[in-house]
Amino acid sequence: MPDFSVVGVWRSCVCNMNTFLYISCCFIRGIKRMSTPASAKDRRPHSKARCQTYPGSSEQRQSVPDNKVPWCVEFPEYDPPEYTAPVVKKGPVWADPGDLGSATIRFNKRDGLVNRVSFTGDYDLKNNTPQNPSGRTGLKGRGLLGKWGPNHAADPIVTRWRREDGEVLIDESSKKPILQFVAIMRADSGEWAIPGGMVDAGERVSLTLKREFGEEALNTLQHTGADRKILEEQIASLFTKGDEIYKGYVDDPRNTDNAWMETVAVNFHDDEGTGVARLPLQAGDDAGSVRWMNVSSALKLYASHEEFLRKTAERRGAHW
């Protein structure tokens, strides 16, 4: 008979060190951590956010073992280097001031047009500096990210069924239909990814989703006149209804201890294959290439995009 006593439950938690550490942190930080969305609670310690060499630089992160990721776990030798990319240090309009001591930033709130609220709940501040809610990354500063704290993005997952002679193809092993999504090759890393991007200050996520897909997958910025209008109308038609797949923290290689990516991923599905499925894909903006790609467990994508596609396949009852 299962032991439902406090001691019994505690012993069962100890059997899994990661679970034990997570639950311990939840008690230490308070019940607010237990009320985070399910999408945030079931994530594992971030790994891509601890990549050894920071993207676009030679900066090396301090190594952080899985069991030392949570802030509540003692790690006295933790003294990571600080790095903020030169492009961010120049102070473009989309970036925060570098000196938080003299800046007036309202963390965990709507700060004018800037959304500084995290999907994971209130994040901690140390010396007025945001602390990554998923734990240590081995690097301080902002890296390539403009905002201290959460940097919000939107990821449109545009899908269709793979067809041959008009018939939806079924995978022989799973006996489920094969789903395809529009994938772009990122110019900065050479990795395949969902064509998403940053939410501009004051911009609605719904607009970001349409804008980023058009610019990266259809190269709308290079079209003019009637051609551009037709493309924008077709995108708008598809994007009238979407299914939210994920909303929360992203395990992104650009993350640091003080700045991190969060996103809303929405699936826009062309079930009949008569809408966006027929649009001429053309890489634009910061995409190196674009194509329809089969959705499966063999995917190796940028950041947390594999997980977004897995959830999409589950939602559509498709092969994974």
Q: Considering the domain boundaries, does residue 290 fall inside one?
A: yes
Q: Are 251 and 46 in contact (CB under 8 A)?
A: yes
More confident residue, 234 or 156: 156
Q: Say if residue 205 is in the same domain as residue 277.
A: yes
Q: Say if residue 72 is in the same domain as residue 104.
A: yes
Q: Say if residue 187 is in the same domain as residue 306.
A: yes
Residue type, 166: G
Pairing state between β 82-84 and 140-143: parallel
Domain count, the chain: 3
For residue 16, give both structure tokens: 């899994």
Find the mean pLDDT for residues 56-82.
Answer: 97
Q: Say if residue 174 is in the same domain as residue 312.
A: yes
pTM: predicted TM-score of the whole model, two decimal places: 0.81
Q: Considering the domain boundaries, does residue 219 fall inside one?
A: yes
Q: Say if residue 272 is in the same domain as residue 164.
A: yes
Task: Answer whether residue 85 shows pLDDT above 50.
Answer: yes
Q: Considering the domain boundaries, does residue 276 fall inside one?
A: yes
Q: Say if residue 307 is in the same domain as residue 164.
A: yes
Q: Are 249 and 153 in contact (CB under 8 A)?
A: no
Q: Are 296 and 179 in contact (CB under 8 A)?
A: no
Rounded Cα–Cα distance for residues 75 and 68 (Å): 7
- Residue 256 DSSP SS3: coil
Q: Considering the domain boundaries, does residue 144 fall inside one?
A: yes
What range defines the domain where residue 18 resides? Answer: 1-35
Q: Which of 151, 181, 210 is the last residue of a domain?
A: 151
Could you report the per-residue pLDDT of 247-297, keeping only the tens digit for each? 999 999 999 999 999 999 999 999 988 877 777 777 766 667 888 999 999
More confident residue, 11 or 276: 276
Q: Say if residue 143 is in the same domain as residue 198.
A: no
Q: Say if residue 61 is in the same domain as residue 75.
A: yes
Task: Answer whether residue 92 shows pLDDT above 50.
Answer: yes
Closest CA to 71 of 25, 127, 9: 25
In this structure, what CATH number is given to the domain that contains residue 291? 3.90.79.10
Radius of gyration from C-alpha coordinates of the chain: 21
Residue type, 46: H
Q: Considering the domain boundaries, does residue 67 fall inside one?
A: yes
Q: Say if residue 248 is in the same domain as residue 146.
A: no
Q: Considering the domain boundaries, does residue 42 fall inside one?
A: no
Place of tokens 């301090």: 62
Q: Which of 151, 170, 194 is the last residue of a domain?
A: 151
Q: Say if residue 270 is in the same domain as residue 307.
A: yes
Q: Considering the domain boundaries, does residue 23 fall inside one?
A: yes
Q: Considering the domain boundaries, does residue 19 fall inside one?
A: yes
Task: Answer whether residue 24 shows pLDDT above 70.
Answer: no
Q: Which of 107, 124, 151 is the last residue of a domain?
A: 151
Q: Say if residue 310 is in the same domain as residue 164.
A: yes
Helices of type H across the chain: 6-14, 17-29, 38-41, 86-89, 205-217, 225-238, 305-316
Q: CA 110 → CA 100, 101, 129, 202, distances in Å? A: 17, 20, 17, 10
Q: Are 246 and 263 in contact (CB under 8 A)?
A: yes
Give the pLDDT score at 4.
54
Mean pLDDT of the chain: 85
Q: Say if residue 226 is in the same domain as residue 145.
A: no
